[in-house]
Amino acid sequence: MPHADEFAVPPSAAMLLDTSAARLAERFAATFSPETVRECLDDSYIVLAATARVQTHVYVLAERFAAERLSATAKAAGLAVSQEPEVLFVCVHNAGRSQMAAALLHHHAAGRVTVRSAGSAPAEAVNPAVVEALAEVGVDIAREFPKPLTDEAVRASDVVITMGCGDACPIYPGKRYLNWELDDPAGGDLAFARRLRDDVDARVRTLLKELLA
C-alpha cells in the first residue's frame, strides 16, 4: 500500500481514528494484523485530507476508504476469494463519470459484481449535477466522495475502465482494460448530466451482460 512518510495524522484526528481502527481490525482480523490495518487507515486519512472539502469529517471517510483498500489488497494478494467479478472505473477527478458508472453498475448488478471507482487527481466533492441526475432514477450517491487511484484497486480488478485519464492506470497482465470516451460533466448543467447518465447507463447494462454471461 502506498503511504506518505513525510506526513503525519494530527493528534486530534488520531484519537478519532482509534475507534475506526478497532472496527476495521475486528472486520479484517482473519487477514491483516491490527498494525497493518492502522497503517492503511492513517494513510487513507492523509491522502483524503489533502483533497477533502470538509476536514472535520475526514476520519469518517478514511474508515470507508481504508475498508475498500484492505478488501482490494486481500483479493489482489490471494488472501480472500471472491466469486464476483470486480470492476474499477477511473477518471481524472472521480467526481462525475466514474462515480456515475460505478453507481449504475452497482445498482443494476444487485450484489453480483464488486464495483469501485477512483480518480488520478481526485476533486474535493462529487459533482452536484451528477448526484441529482442519478437521484432522478433512484440511485443515491449523496454519501460518495472522490477517492485517489491506488495500486491495490487495479490489481484486485478483473476489468478496469478508464474515462479520460489516459495512461494513469498501471497495467497488469490478466486484466481487461477498456476506455470509454465520455465528456467530463465538470461545469455542465443538469441537462448535460442527464444525457451522460443515459449514455453511461446503456454502456453499464451491456457490460453487466458480458460479465454475467
Long-range CB contact pairs, 202-207, < 8 A, 24+: 203/101, 204/101, 204/104, 204/105, 204/108, 205/108, 207/87, 207/105, 207/159, 207/161
The dihedral over CA atoms of 14, 79, 31, 83, expressed in degrees to the nearest 10, equals 90
Give the active site residue among 66, 91, 109, 163: 91
- β-bridge mates for residue 176, sequence order: 159
Which strands make up the sheet holding 176-179, listed edge to edge? 114-119, 86-91, 159-162, 176-179
Give the active site residue among 169, 196, 207, 208: 169
Asked whether the beta carbons of 93 and 122 are under 8 A apart, the reply is yes
Asked whether the beta carbons of 159 and 114 are under 8 A apart, the reply is no
Could you give the residue ranges of the DSSP H alpha helices within 11-120? Answer: 11-27, 34-49, 58-76, 97-109
Whole-angstrom distance, CA of residue 178 vs CA of residue 165: 12
The yes-or-no answer on residue 169 being catalytic is: yes
The bridge status of strand 159-162 relative to strand 176-179 is parallel
Q: What is the DSSP letter of 51?
A: T
Give the active site residue among 48, 165, 204, 207: 165
The yes-or-no answer on residue 40 being catalytic is: no
Q: Indicate which residues carry an active-site annotation.
A: 91, 165, 169
